Amino acid sequence: QQQSLFYKQGVFAATYPGMVNFMQIAAGFGLQTCDLNNEADPQAALQAIIDRPGPALIHVRIDAEEKVYPMVPPGAANTEMVGE
């Protein structure tokens, strides 16, 4: 996102040949996991994992072109967040 907003689409070292299975890693450490992409009712599944005690990892696919706000611009302080 920063490359497209501040560096004229200068994307470098952002595509990786494989995917890390963070859900498997989290489960290996005893955390509860939830993959909202595979749930028939993602909202109910999200609420169920939030209602459980303890840490959890929630997996949700987000389009690579989707912007995530608020964000801190390069070189700025955390108090200088920008929104959409």
- The pTM of the full predicted model, rounded to 2 decimals, is 0.65
The total number of structural domains in the chain stands at: 1
Which of 62 and 4 is assigned the larger pLDDT?
62
| Three-state SS at 76 | coil
Which of 39 and 76 is assigned the larger pLDDT?
39
- Domain containing residue 43: 2-80
- Residue 13: what pLDDT? 67
* DSSP helix, strand, coil percent of the chain (3-state; round to 5): 35, 10, 55
Mean pLDDT of the chain: 86
Is pLDDT of 1 > 70? no
38 within 8 A of 45, measured Cβ to Cβ: no
- Residue 16: what pLDDT? 73
Is pLDDT of 5 > 80? no
Is pLDDT of 46 > 90? yes
Which of 84 and 53 is assigned the larger pLDDT?
53
